[in-house]
Amino acid sequence: MFELSSDHEDFRQAVRDFAEQEVAPHVAQWDRDSYFPSELVPKMGEMGLFGIVVPEEYGGTREEGAFTYLCLAIEELGRVDQSIGITLSAGVGLGINPILTFGDHAQKERFLPDLVAGRALAGFGLTEPEAGSDAGATKTRARLEGDQWVVDGAKAFITNSGTDITSVVTVTARTGQREDGRPEISAIMIPAGTPGFTVEPPYRKLGWHISDTHGLTFENCRVPEENLLGARGHGFRQFLATLDDGRIAIAALAVGMAQAMLEQSTEYAKTRIAFGRPIGVNQGVSFPIADLAVSVEAARLLTYKAAWLKDELEAGRRTSAEVKNAAAMAKLYATEAAVSATRTAAQVFGGNGFMEEYPIARFYRDAKILEVGEGTSEVQRMLIGRGLGLPS
């Protein structure tokens, strides 16, 4: 069940080679400069990374096991740099997937070919300044005037939303009130450059310095009625489904980080000499690295299982409830393992682990957001509890 095919392994190696050749030589400088390398995105498109889950009709290469391929790509990019990994993860899971899953044929034809080719990126606007884990508290509003949606509100922490190749951001907005008194929430696509759509200055972040992240504001922002994504009032449900897939992708990103920390800690423990011998001979060093190896393996198996279940769901052989539960477990365990992995690596490296000349510091800064984005660890525990039948 957990054995990857030879095609999967060949693909993994191809992405690893790409990451080592196209990302690794530049990533330290990009991180220092907080520079988003938009020139890298078309290269990722040429490799087919953005089209893994997209049918050929729209320029993709989707085949059996597609979601597992995507997770392997995210893991291998994340092993070299987390910002580049999240660029792919968000570009596909949060940018392409809502349009692919819920869009009509005209919407797919309009946006997907450029997104798949890496000529463009798309964003996903759910989080707001006062609506994070409580996504149902959305305050952004959209009213229908004639044949146009008029959008007013704000979004926060939106990835891939302000690059020079961003083409569209899909946002949730209140479009009315349901019969039970709760807000009707719909999803609306807002192309970049639309009057009234303002991309705020980039955030100054603890980590993910290379990733593009902005707040967004909408003031009397008008888009055509046909920019509604899916059915009116189904936006919240659509975005929750999107987040299930995103959680598996974040777990894969975390596995890449933990793997990097394992490799670098092991190599350093073999070569760093103290008291006339490699520090790896000391149990105080070797035992934490051994524990790290166990957590990497466990995180990878949970993530691969969740990805496999997602592929099985696409084939009609599993249920969405199984995927939701597996995604929450993988996201919870893998992200917390990744944070622990950076602490272990920093301790193994000693003073050097605190220095920016070594990649440990960059990974350490990048780690914490993994436990927050796509649903906090607390949210994942809540979802797992519900899956066990505990009262909510």
Residue 368 contacts residue 357 (beta carbons within 8 Å): no
Q: Which residues pair with 199 in a beta bridge?
A: 216
Q: Which residues pair with 114 in a beta bridge?
A: none
CB atoms within 10 A of CB 5: 12
Active site residue 356: no
User: What's the gap between Cα 171 and its chain centre?
Assistant: 17
Q: Which residues pair with 121 in a beta bridge?
A: 166
For residue 355, give Cα distances in angstroms to 129, 350, 361, 369.
Answer: 34, 10, 6, 21
Residue 140 contacts residue 197 (beta carbons within 8 Å): no
Rounded distance, CA 141 to CA 175, Å? 6
The active-site residue out of 109, 128, 374, 378 is 374
Rounded distance, CA 175 to CA 66, Å? 34
Catalytic residues: 374
